[in-house]
Amino acid sequence: MSISCKAIVHVPYAPNTMALWENVQMGNIFFLPTAKLLAQWRASNQIGLFQMSHGVSLDRPLTEDFLNRTEWYREDRRALFVYFSSADDLVAKFRALDFTKQRSEMRDYMDKHEAAQLSKWKDLFAEVHKSTSGAQVREFHKPDSLVRRAEKIASQQISPSGEASPSN
């Protein structure tokens, strides 16, 4: 949990960000405008850009339908955030929120999410291992010129920089 703030009021500016996951993992509570409110703000130019792809605004209408497919508004992620539909709603929800309970619910979600992601990686590695179990592993052999150079360096006939050493 962040020790410098009680919560974060955030206006999403992109479909997803790494900061979202870092902050949720830390237990930072996000207050977000509803998808409808954010779409209204964009339509009325109250917010400037919403990055659609790699920092590029495709300058298309920002719709609730689109927002509901982003990390911030997906149905399965709603437990992570507190949504407000107006400034008055934000104030009311901030005053009424049980912050300890919200952080606990976020932690439960993140524990399940982490376990699911680790399981997916485990399955992927198992599949890769299974598909390569009959593959032959070949040793890497250095070209003869590198072997001879290594032997000369070892016998002190040349320095590692390639200069000839005086004969003893």
**Amino acid found at 165:** S
Residue 80 included in any domain = yes
Residue 150 included in any domain = no
Residue 168 has a pLDDT of: 44
Residue 151 included in any domain = no
Residue 148 has a pLDDT of: 67
Q: What is the pLDDT tens value at each position of the chain, 168 positions in all? A: 555 678 988 888 777 777 888 888 888 999 999 999 999 988 888 776 666 555 555 566 788 888 888 888 999 999 899 999 999 999 999 999 999 999 999 999 989 988 888 888 888 888 887 787 765 555 555 566 656 666 666 665 544 455 555 554
* Rounded CA separation 149/138 (Å): 23
* Rounded CA separation 2/22 (Å): 11
Residue 97 included in any domain = yes
* Rounded CA separation 153/138 (Å): 27
User: What range does the domain containing 111 cover?
Assistant: 8-119
Nearest Cα neighbor of 78 from 102, 42, 95, 100 is 102
Asked if 82 and 30 touch (Cβ cutoff 8 Å), the reply is: yes
Residue 155 included in any domain = no
- If one counts the domains in the chain, the total is 1
* Rounded CA separation 143/151 (Å): 13
What are the backbone dihedrals phi and psi of residue 27, each rounded to the nearest 5 degrees, phi first? 90, 15
Residue 131 included in any domain = no
DSSP assigned state of 26: T
Residue 56 included in any domain = yes
Residue 103 included in any domain = yes
